[in-house]
């Protein structure tokens, strides 16, 4: 797979990197919301973890 066009197209490179940063931010947000919910409602912690066991 040739990705040299990313180096040649400055605008596309910016858009591509913005998408990566956005995805990382989404992951941090999801983890933060889960941590907050588990902190506020610890009695539901086991119910939240059952699907992953």
Phi, psi for residue 44 in degrees, rounded to 5: -95, 5
User: What pLDDT is stored for residue 35 in this prediction?
Assistant: 87
DSSP string for residues in 1-53: ---HHHHH-HHHHHHHHHHHHHHHHHHHHHHHHHHHHHHH-GGGHHHHHGGG-
The pTM of the full predicted model, rounded to 2 decimals, is 0.61
Output the pLDDT for position 10. Answer: 87
The string of pLDDT tens digits covering residues 4-53 is: 777 788 898 899 899 999 999 999 998 898 888 888 888 877 776 666 65
Residues in the chain: 53
């Amino acid at each position: 797979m040739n990705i040299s066009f990313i180096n040649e197209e400055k605008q596309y490179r910016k858009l591509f990197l913005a998408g990566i940063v956005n995805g990382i931010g989404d992951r941090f947000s999801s983890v933060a919301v889960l941590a907050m919910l588990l902190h506020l409602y610890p009695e539901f912690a086991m119910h939240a973890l059952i699907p992953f066991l």
